[in-house]
């Protein structure tokens, strides 16, 4: 019984090819219309979304900030409002453009027991509206602190991080992908397909976001896109790649958050295409390797993907109107981190010190972490329901409390006694399968281990089959190849 080395290699190659072909097509876009082209006027739009649009002329780009003008605008916010802002970089694009963030807070750069929100614009290079409105947002907050109650609430009670462009190279090239022509919203590790698991092979822009999310303790976030008018929420992909509603454990809360955005918008909620102006990602069209799902799974960060303009690259003259249409949405979404949900701190009873415990809600298979410094947690939750809130930490006895969460935020601290964690939460943790603390990447690999095992078993099965055939062939054809013993 023997098989040639070539055949084995061929077999492995075949399997690899199959594995890759089973990967989702790098389909249209978050930032595009339905790729099935249901609406009549979508067809033409879509074709221009899939390819880079040659109609982005110099005339069209006129009135938009160039990358260097954007950097000047970012730094101008910093110098105009130094007391409530900080400018920092999270890395560099392929072509070396600094990915600058404006942090807005009354104590920028300092750790506080407050939630953090991030806005990311221009993920796709040819969707430049986000970068423009984010500069407007930063300036508006800078101008209205202590004048407008919402501005004051945001500045004083949370940390708002604004990255106007994630893809400056794509913007300069007037195309969707980055300088390596990689779609950054397909470049994150995916929960269903181990396509992007190796961080070293991620694009520098993607890596910058991943490291940023690991450093900062974001409660929620939103990325801004163009090509439709809708607030999109996880999951972005379905397990079997079919176009279907695929809700994540926090589906209710995500629908609530997406509705906060769409209802505060000038006319997003009036959409004929999307009920209430919101959509589940996989229901719209599944994508894999997106930023939104990755944030939720690995950062415990509730991220939305916001499509804020039907036209990806409108005339610059329309930007002030688009900003006005989105202003209250952006403010209300950020402020919802303070105004709604359950917030508190977790302490150790013996030392009185804050501890980075985990927080779960009975019946919801997800987990968020309290911060290391202050033990503060910020749990977004759909209002109007009873919840059992459970705090746990390795080496401490788990505690649970029932609350009625109405429209306003609930404040709830936990003091945990040293001891054995009860089994209840351990089970919950297993249920969640993904949102599991600081070493979440490890858990993800764990999930993929099944996949690898499955592939391995197939290889073995195919090998056995092949071996039989090969030996038959060998008999019939008297293969001259030197067989190797296996
Ligand atoms: C910044 O804060 C300091 C001290 O509170 C104050 O004196 C100063 O006027 C503030 N500057 C601005 C630009 O608000
Ligand atoms: C919203 O308003 C804009 C600007 O007036 C318009 O172009 C768009 O069609 C409207 N969308 C909906 C869903 O009403
Ligand atoms: Zn997009």
Residue 483: predicted pLDDT? 35
Could you count the other beta carbons within 10 Å of the beta carbon of residue 199? 13
Residue 468: predicted pLDDT? 53
Position in ligand 2 atom list of the atom nearest CA 277: 13
Kindly give the distance from the C-alpha atom of residue 332 to the centroid of ligand 2, in angstroms, as a whole number. Answer: 20
For residue 5, is pLDDT > 80? no
Ranges 110-119, 219-228, 239-248, 456-465: which has the least confidence? 456-465
For the segment 425-441, the average pLDDT, to the nearest whole number, is: 36
Residue 443: predicted pLDDT? 36
Distance separating alpha carbons of residues 84 and 316, to the nearest angstrom: 29
For residue 117, is pLDDT > 80? yes
Burial (0-12, 13-18, 19+ Cβ within 10 Å), 151: buried
Taking a C-beta distance cutoff of 8 angstroms, is the pair 282, 235 a contact?
A: yes
Q: Is 40 a catalytic residue?
A: no
Kindly give the distance from the C-alpha atom of residue 81 to the centroid of ligand 1, in angstroms, as a whole number. Answer: 9
Instruction: Give the burial string for 237-260 (b: 16+ CB within 10 Å, else e).
Output: bbeebeeeebebbbbebbbbbbbb
**Residue ID of nearest Cα to ligand 2 atom 11:** 267
Burial (0-12, 13-18, 19+ Cβ within 10 Å), 281: buried
Q: CA-CA distances (angstroms) from residue 353 to 24, 295, 383?
A: 47, 28, 30
Q: Which ligand is nearest to the CA of 313?
A: 3
Taking a C-beta distance cutoff of 8 angstroms, is the pair 67, 168 a contact?
A: yes
Is the previous residue joined to 235 through a cis bond, with omega within 30 degrees of 0?
yes
Q: Where does the pLDDT of residue 176 fall: very low under 50, low under 70, confident under 90, or very high at 90 and above?
A: very high
Stronger pLDDT, 295 or 442, i.e. the higher one: 295
Q: Percentage of residues in the chain with pLDDT exceeding 90?
A: 72
The pair of structure tokens assigned to 212 is 């940023």
Answer whether 390 contacts ligand 2 (Cβ < 6 A).
Answer: no
Answer whether 262 contacts ligand 2 (Cβ < 6 A).
Answer: no
Kindly report, residue by residue over 251-302, the tens digit of the pLDDT.
999 999 999 999 999 999 999 999 999 999 999 999 999 999 999 999 999 9
Residue 30: predicted pLDDT? 63
Answer whether 411 contacts ligand 2 (Cβ < 6 A).
Answer: no
Kindly report, residue by residue over 42-76, the tens digit of the pLDDT.
333 343 444 567 678 888 889 999 999 999 999 99
Cross-strand partners of 344 = 377
Q: Percentage of residues in the chain with pLDDT exceeding 70?
A: 76
**Numbers of helices and strands, H then E, in the chain:** 14, 18
Task: Kindly report the average pLDDT of the chain as a whole number.
Answer: 84
Kindly give the distance from the C-alpha atom of residue 139 to the centroid of ligand 1, in angstroms, as a whole number. Answer: 17
Residue 463: predicted pLDDT? 65
For residue 218, is pLDDT > 60? yes
Closest CA to 276 of 232, 320, 214: 232
Answer whether 229 contacts ligand 2 (Cβ < 6 A).
Answer: yes
Residue 195: predicted pLDDT? 81
Kindly report, residue by residue over 319-370, the tens digit of the pLDDT.
999 999 999 999 999 999 999 999 999 999 999 999 999 999 999 999 999 9
For the segment 99-119, the average pLDDT, to the nearest whole number, is: 98
231 phi/psi in degrees, rounded to 5: -100, 115
What global pTM score does this model have? 0.80
Residue 450: predicted pLDDT? 57
Position in ligand 2 atom list of the atom nearest CA 270: 13
Give 399-415 as a DSSP string: EEEEEEE-SS-EE--EE
Answer whether 270 contacts ligand 2 (Cβ < 6 A).
Answer: yes
Place of tokens 């006027």: 41
Give 17-69 as a DSSP string: HHHHHTSPP--S-BTB--TT--STTHHHHHHHHHS--TT--HHHHTTS--HHH
């Amino acid at each position: 019984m023997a098989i040639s080395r070539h055949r084995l290699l061929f077999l492995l190659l075949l399997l690899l090819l199959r594995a890759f072909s089973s990967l989702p097509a790098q389909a249209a876009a978050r930032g595009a219309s339905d790729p099935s082209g249901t609406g009549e006027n979508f067809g033409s739009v879509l074709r221009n979304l899939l390819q880079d649009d040659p109609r982005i002329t110099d005339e069209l780009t006129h009135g938009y900030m160039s990358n260097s003008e954007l950097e000047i605008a970012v730094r101008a916010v910093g110098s105009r409002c130094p007391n409530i802002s900080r400018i920092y970089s999270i890395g560099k694009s392929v072509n070396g453009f600094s990915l600058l963030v404006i942090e807005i807070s009354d104590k920028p750069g300092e750790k506080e027991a407050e939630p953090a929100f991030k806005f990311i614009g221009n993920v796709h290079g040819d969707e430049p509206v986000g970068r423009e409105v984010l500069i407007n947002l930063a300036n508006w907050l800078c101008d209205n602190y202590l004048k407008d109650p919402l501005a004051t609430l945001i500045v004083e009670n949370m940390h708002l991080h604004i990255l106007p462009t994630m893809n400056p190279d794509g913007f300069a090239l007037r195309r969707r992908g980055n300088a390596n022509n990689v779609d950054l919203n397909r470049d994150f590790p995916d929960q269903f397909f181990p396509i992007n698991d190796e961080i070293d092979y991620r694009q520098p822009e993607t890596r910058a976001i991943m490291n940023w999310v690991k450093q900062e303790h974001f409660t929620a976030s939103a990325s801004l896109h163009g090509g439709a008018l809708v607030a999109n929420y996880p999951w972005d992909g379905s397990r079997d790649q079919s176009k279907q509603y695929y809700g994540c454990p926090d589906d209710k809360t995500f629908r609530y958050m997406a509705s906060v955005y769409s209802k505060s918008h000038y006319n997003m909620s009036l959409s004929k295409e999307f009920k209430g102006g919101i959509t589940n990602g996989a229901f719209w069209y599944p994508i894999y390797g997106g930023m939104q799902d990755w944030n939720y799974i690995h950062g415990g960060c509730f991220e939305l993907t916001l499509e804020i303009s039907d036209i990806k690259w409108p005339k610059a003259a329309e930007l002030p109107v688009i900003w006005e249409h989105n202003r209250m949405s952006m403010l209300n979404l950020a402020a919802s981190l303070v105004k709604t949900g359950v917030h508190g701190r977790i302490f150790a009873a013996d030392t009185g010190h804050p501890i980075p415990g985990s927080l779960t809600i009975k019946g919801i298979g997800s987990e968020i972490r309290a911060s290391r410094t202050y033990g503060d947690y910020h749990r977004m939750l759909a209002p109007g329901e009873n919840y059992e809130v459970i705090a746990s930490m390795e080496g401490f006895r788990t505690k649970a409390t029932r609350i009625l969460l109405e429209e306003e935020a609930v404040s709830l601290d936990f003091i945990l006694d040293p001891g054995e964690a009860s089994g209840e939460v351990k089970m919950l943790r297993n249920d969640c399968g993904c949102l599991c603390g600081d070493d979440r990447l490890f858990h993800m690999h764990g999930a993929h281990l099944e996949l690898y095992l499955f592939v391995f078993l197939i290889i073995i099965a195919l090998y056995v089959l092949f071996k039989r055939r090969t030996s038959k062939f060998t008999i019939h054809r008297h293969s001259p190849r030197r067989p190797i013993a296996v």
